[in-house]
Amino acid sequence: MHRQDDEVKQFTFKRDWNLQQCKVEICEAFEIPADMVKEYTLFRLDGFGEPQFAVKKEKAGFLKNNISSGDTLALKSNKDLTLDEKILLGVHLTTTGLPDDCMFLGNIDASKETTLLELKE
């Protein structure tokens, strides 16, 4: 799944940094504008070297995300997620909780790894 033109860079981070800080620095190194950082996700690689496990807790440290020293992470654009990595959510608004006043607001295309807290942000 990796292309030959994929760019590989090596980073060393302080142990007390959270993944959000790391992601910002990685995006800067790949010349991704600061306002576009949210459009990218860090993934841990599986045994075959493919980005498989999305890093969900970006505000947490390495330990909470099961990332060990020497692990390889991949930065992937949310636009490049495959169909089996995405889910389409229909967003509706109701004031009473009954279907009579339910109003459709729109669809959200999200990663399957996205948490409810991340959607609220």
Compute mean pLDDT per 10 residues along the chain, 121 residues long, and list them. 60 84 87 85 82 80 81 80 70 86 82 71 62
Phi first, then psi: what are they for 8, rounded to 5°? -115, 130
| Residue 3: inside a domain | no
Q: Which of 74, 39, 37 is nearest to 55 (CA)?
A: 74
Residue 27 token pair: 């995006």
Q: How many domains does one find in the chain?
A: 2
pTM of the predicted model as reported, rounded to 2 decimal places: 0.58
Residues 72 and 114 in one domain: no
Residues 90 and 68 in one domain: no
Residues 44 and 74 in one domain: yes
